[in-house]
């Protein structure tokens, strides 16, 4: 199995969340639009990314469209995101999306075998196609004809586009999280994260 280079990963944050005392009025307005955790906290991903306010301002609507207003069913979306987190070693992405996946109907049994990939026993045919799509996009930056055609039996053109964009979005987010060392907040344990596994496992 080809292992991700863990030595290249920061063992502490390279960029810290912007402290609240440094929130200028524009920063405060931008962060007010971010999803808040129960209790009112703002996730570290947003308070770190807002160090580039222009980019943050344009990132949030696109990410929000995919996460909250997309055409894919929630369980489909979250399965793709969790497999992408697995493929990229993005612990933060996994930890934050685990409760969303469960809320969307992804079962604990499915979560437990995400790290085993699309050939693991127990997947439904559509789930296998979805995991293969995430793996092929991660590895090859495209999808095989077989995977595309398998998905096209279940989804229309808009949903197929969204699958590709969703995986690409969360791959990009994983790059940001991993490179900057964003820390997962307390209360979001990384339960079941498939350490050292991924599409090439």
162, 64 Cβ separation under 8 angstroms:
no
> Looking at residue 198, what is its pLDDT?
47
CATH number of 74-180: 1.20.1290.10
Q: List the domain boundaries for the chain.
A: 19-68, 74-180
For residue 175, the tally of other CB atoms under 10 A from its CB is 12
Residue located via tokens 């049994």: 109
In whole angstroms, what is the distance from residue 132 CA to residue 144 CA? 9
Please determine, for residue 3, whether its predicted confidence score (pLDDT) is greater than 80: no
Read off the pLDDT of residues 62-78 as tens digits, 9 standing for 90 and up. Answer: 999 999 999 999 999 99
91, 184 Cβ separation under 8 angstroms:
yes
Average model confidence (pLDDT) across the chain: 93
- Angle, to 10 degrees, between the axis of helix 91-103 and the axis of helix 157-180? 140
- 118 or 39, which is more confident: 118
Distance from CA of residue 7 to its chain's centroid? 22
Q: Which long-range contacts link 155-162 to residues 24+ away (Cβ below 8 Å)? A: 155/72, 158/71, 159/71, 159/72, 162/66, 162/70, 162/71, 162/72
- For the whole model, what pTM was predicted? 0.93
Please determine, for residue 135, whether its predicted confidence score (pLDDT) is greater than 80: yes
Please determine, for residue 20, whether its predicted confidence score (pLDDT) is greater than 70: yes
State mean pLDDT over 170-180.
98
> Looking at residue 141, what is its pLDDT?
98
In whole angstroms, what is the distance from residue 81 CA to residue 171 CA? 9
Number of separate helices (H) and strands (E) present in the chain: 9, 0
């Amino acid at each position: 199995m080809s292992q991700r280079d863990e030595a290249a990963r920061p063992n502490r944050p390279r960029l810290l969340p912007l402290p609240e005392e440094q929130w200028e009025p524009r920063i405060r307005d931008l962060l007010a639009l971010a999803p808040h955790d129960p209790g009112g906290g703002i996730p570290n991903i947003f308070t770190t990314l807002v160090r580039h306010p222009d980019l943050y301002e344009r990132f949030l609507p696109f990410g929000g469209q995919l996460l909250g207003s997309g055409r894919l069913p929630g369980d489909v979306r979250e399965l793709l995101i969790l497999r992408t987190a697995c493929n990229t070693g993005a612990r933060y992405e996994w930890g934050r999306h685990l409760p969303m996946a469960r809320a969307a109907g992804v079962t604990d049994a499915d979560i437990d075998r995400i790290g085993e990939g699309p050939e693991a026993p127990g997947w439904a045919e559509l789930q296998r196609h979805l995991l293969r799509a995430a793996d092929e996009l991660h590895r090859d930056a495209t999808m095989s004809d077989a995977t595309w055609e398998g998905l096209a039996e279940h989804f229309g053109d808009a949903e197929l586009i969204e699958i590709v964009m969703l995986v690409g979005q969360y791959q990009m987010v994983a790059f940001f999280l991993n490179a900057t060392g964003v820390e997962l907040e307390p209360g979001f344990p990384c339960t079941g994260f498939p350490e050292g596994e991924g599409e090439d496992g």
